[in-house]
Chains A and B, each alone.
Chain A
Amino acid sequence: MKEIRLSTTPTPEAVSQLALGDIVYLDGLMYTAREGVYMRALEEKANIPIELPSESAANFHCSPAATIREDGSFAMGAVTATASFRFAKWLPEWMARSGAKLIVGKGGMSSKDYKDYFVPNGAVYLSTVGYGTGALLGRGVERVEAVHWNRELGLAQAMWVIRCNRMGPFIVASDLDGTCLFERENAKIADNLARVYRGTRPATLKRFGETDDRTDEVIG
């Protein structure tokens, strides 16, 4: 597999050269932002505390295993991502505001997300590996530069700004055509599922509310 070192403020050319399944190691500043940061920045219109994207174009869907010591210094141990699909609600606006070129997280987004707002913004998705290689990624944290909004959001939802030094591995999970690595894999696996399911029986009692069909009798 191809290994690439990539800046967290990558050039358009560097992003365009990433191919699905490439292994990436990151250098530079990366910030964590997930639902807490998105809601505070986009819904409550708080001022984003760092200069984006000039300082960093890499948004990590992450809460680190970290603490602030009594003297104000930081202890950061393991670092892994959280599942990104839950943030699709905020990402188009966030991407426009932040200029993020790299969304780093767990499990990727849909190819529709990629085509709708990743590709027009020249951005791609990098997935963490595992999950999760928290100790390996923790080794890639050269230092914690700052933490913002920890009082408002708690440590897990705060905006951590970390300096990465060959932090990885990450896997390229989307490209500038909007192709999705996970959907490509799921399509291959789906071919086999009919065989695996043979001889099984659907549940006698169905679950109401998982479709919008309000006339569903549920039984049978």
Chain B
Amino acid sequence: MIPTPLIHSVARDLMAKAAIEIPEDYLTGLKAAADTETGDLSAFVLQAMLENYEAAKEDRRAMCGDTGVPRWFVKLGNDARIEGGMVALEEVLRRATAEATTGIPLRPNRVHPLWRTDHDNNVGIGAPEIEYGFEPDGDWIDLITVHKGGLFGTDYRMLFPSDGIEGIKRFYLDSLVAFGKRGLACQPAIIGIGLGGSKDICMTLGKRASTLRVVGSRNPDPGIAALEDEFKDLGNSIGMGAMGFVGSNMVVACNIEVGYCHTGGLPMSVHAFCLSSRRAVARIWPDGRVEQRTDPDWFTPYQRRETVDWPVAKEAAE
């Protein structure tokens, strides 16, 4: 049984870590971008960002004043049991979100869409989102918090098989340029592309591709991995950099995730994470052990399974 008070305290720590500490994989990617940046204004911006990460860590203050819309991804091993059950889990995640908002502090971004009511704690109807995944083995729980910005850099389009790769490229470029102008997407960023699924899942796939995969990860399908490389280079050949200034870095990584879709369609979503790429992860075991990391490791073979029966599919792949 995993104790709920422990989940609560780990969740609070993760909220602070996500807001304050730039993940190492993204930092490495951004430093590489800064080293190659050819635009003088863009290079100044990247240098300022690198100084900003240091200032945030030194002062223990959030990296960015817009601390995004905090959300949770929870993954459970098949044998994990939570003290008080899933309702108790959701309560402590909501409580940790509210406490971190005043404690760190974060910006209380969450408001009612029509009445603009603000509880000043980032909690409200459907907020924070809590999404779940499962793994066949293990008695642990993974807590992942992501604080992604909410306004720019994301778009969806229903394409069709006849649109093909050329159509996918077009919508990818359209999205990068539209939100890259004036730097609305806070690039250079990890770009996530969702292909397939139903409309809502297409958005989810792209969002997870940008927020739950690290810089340097690759899709296991070699054809998709090749597209990831090609799309990264394509994005960086636009001639646009940080803040939409002339430059050579828009895309720190391009991650593509797919899901099976309607035979007549090719739904596509594009998501830009941001210059703060806020995510933090911890695994908690029933004996009280806690291991923090920055790689959500969400897209396991189980998450990408293609067949009905998991053990059979696993053996077939081996």
Q: Which residues of A contact B (CB under 8 A)?
A: 1, 21, 23, 36, 62-67, 75-83, 85, 106-108, 127, 129-139, 153-157, 169, 171, 182, 185-186, 188-189, 192-193, 196-197, 199-205
Instruction: Compute how far the CA of A131 lies from the CA of B179 in the bound complex, rounded to whole angstroms.
Output: 13
Structural contact, B105 and A75, CB atoms closer than 8 A: yes
Contact among B62, B66, B108, B234 for A154, CB-based, below 8 A: B108
Chain B min CB distance to A220 (Å) = 11
Q: Contact: A133 with B49, CB < 8 Å?
A: yes
Residue B184 interfacial (CB < 8 Å): yes
Contact A204:B101 (CB < 8 A) given known A137-B65, A156-B107: no
Q: Are B234 and A196 in contact (CB under 8 A)?
A: yes
Q: Does the CB pair B183–A107 fall under 8 Å?
A: yes
7 A-B pairs whose Cβ atoms sit less than 8 Å apart in the complex: A62-B65, A64-B107, A76-B105, A154-B120, A182-B243, A200-B166, A202-B170
CA of A130 to CA of B65 in the docked complex: distance in angstroms? 12
Task: Please list the 9 inter-chain residue pairs (A to B) with the smallest Cβ-Cβ separation, ordered nearest first.
Answer: A154-B118, A80-B65, A107-B182, A201-B166, A200-B170, A135-B56, A78-B62, A77-B61, A135-B55
CA distance A82 to B68 in the complex (A): 12
A135-B62, A189-B239 known; A130 vs B45 contact (CB < 8 Å): yes
Say which residue of B61, B107, B159 sits within 8 Å of A63 (CB atoms): B107
- A186 vs B117: C-alpha distance when bound (angstroms): 37
* Separation of A36 and B115 alpha carbons in the complex (Å): 12
Assembled-state Cα–Cα distance A207/B116 (Å): 29
Cβ-closest chain A residue relative to B106: A65
Residues of A within 8 A of B238 (CB): 189, 192-193, 196
Q: List the B side residues contacting A154 at CB < 8 Å.
A: 108, 111, 116-118, 120
Q: In the complex the two chains form, is B163's CB within 8 Å of A134's CB?
A: no
A80 touching B170, Cβ below 8 Å: no
Q: Does B171 contact A (CB under 8 A)?
A: yes
A-facing mask of B111-145, CB < 8 A → 1, else 0? 10000111010000000000000000000000000
A186 CA / B158 CA spacing, docked (Å): 28
Contacts of B183 in A (CB 8 A): 106-107, 130-131
Chain A residues in 8 Å Cβ range of B102: 67, 75
**B11 on the A face (CB < 8 A):** no
Interface residues of B in 34-61 (CB under 8 A from A): 40-41, 44-45, 48-49, 51-53, 55-56, 59, 61
10 further interface pairs, Cβ-Cβ under 8 Å (given A136-B51, A157-B116): A63-B109, A65-B106, A65-B107, A67-B105, A78-B62, A130-B64, A138-B61, A189-B246, A200-B166, A200-B170
The answer to the question of B14 belonging to the interface, with a C-beta cut-off of 8 Å to chain A, is: no
Q: Are B111 and A204 in contact (CB under 8 A)?
A: no
